[in-house]
Chain A
Amino acid sequence: MGIFLFNLIAFFTVACAVGVVVNRNTVNAALCLMLCLMGVAGVFVMLDAYLLAALLVLVYAGAVVALFLFIIMLLDAQGGTRAPFRMATAVASGISLALMLVGVAALLARGTFAAEPLEAAVGPPVGSVLKEYAQLLFTTYLLPVQVIGFLLLIAMLGVIVLSKRFEGMEDIR
């Protein structure tokens, strides 16, 4: 049952990811990205990371995809009638995709992961309790939390500077 569910979710996720890449219309690509993120949230649920699944849906599928759609409509960049890629680029990127897949397949086929009975090592689900995340975030990872907060502040200031027109300061361009 678990394997069937995983295969279903994985197929859905990969199909939506391919949809992001090959879709001619940018709005459709953004909506495919949202569906793909839903699939990834399902994978997180299968891994007992319920909190991360909820956060993924809220932050990514909610905020980030909405921002993408907003920018697409603001710039009116839906794609139009031009071809979305050139043939030479398609061949080159297809070759690199094949190389990457061959590398991963070789790694998986060598049996490095399957050598240990990982099924037995799986303990109780630790990622489902908010309290344990909070414990880690405010003890071990307190400094990274502060740094991330500062990063968000800097990003906010940067966006304001980027999107504001400065009159009489054309020399800073």
Chain B
Amino acid sequence: MTPGLESYIGLSALLFAIGFFGVLLRKNTLVIYMCLELMLIASTVALVAFSRFNGTLDGGVFVFFILTVAAAEVAVGLAIIVALFRLRQTVEVDKLNHLRN
């Protein structure tokens, strides 16, 4: 007896919802970034589950691409955060409100 597709989709949706919650909730840019990564990972769980239950490999190949894009995204995003920190000396999003004035 193995878990069905709906269990995997439920887990994926739950992880995505938690990541979304974190993106809205937290003020630290680095934690927001980690929650974004969590959302990406949740989507890969759904892709792998659909791929397995349909007997094809295409979902797995898409997970390859998602992993690569996520790695590139993390590199660029963290470089932007470091550049921002050098300019403003903070990574809290509620202090980065210079566009408001």
Contacts and interface: CB of A to CB of B under 8 A. Distances in A.
Interface residues on B, range: 35 or more
Contacts of B71: 59, 63-64, 152
Tell me if B's interface is mostly helix, strand, loop or mixed. helix
Given A96-B20, A113-B4, A67 B11 contact: no
A89 B17 CA distance: 16
Contacts of B73: 155
Nearest to A64: B74
B34 A49 contact: no
B95 to A, nearest CB: 10
A4 B72 CA distance: 36
Contact of B9 (A17, A59, A108, A158): A108
Interface in A95-133: 96-97, 100-101, 104, 108, 113-114, 118-119, 121-127, 132-133
Contact of A26 (B28, B64, B70, B76): B28
Contacts, number: 229
Interface of B: 1-11, 13-22, 24-28, 30-31, 33-35, 37-38, 41, 44-45, 48-49, 51-58, 60-61, 63-65, 67-76, 78-83, 85, 91-92, 94
Interface of A: 1-3, 6, 10, 13-14, 17-18, 20-21, 26, 29-30, 33, 36-37, 40, 43-44, 46-49, 51-52, 55-56, 59-60, 63-64, 67-68, 71-72, 74-75, 77, 79, 82, 84-86, 89-90, 92-94, 96-97, 100-101, 104, 108, 113-114, 118-119, 121-127, 132-133, 136-137, 140-141, 144, 148, 151-152, 155-156, 158-159, 162-163
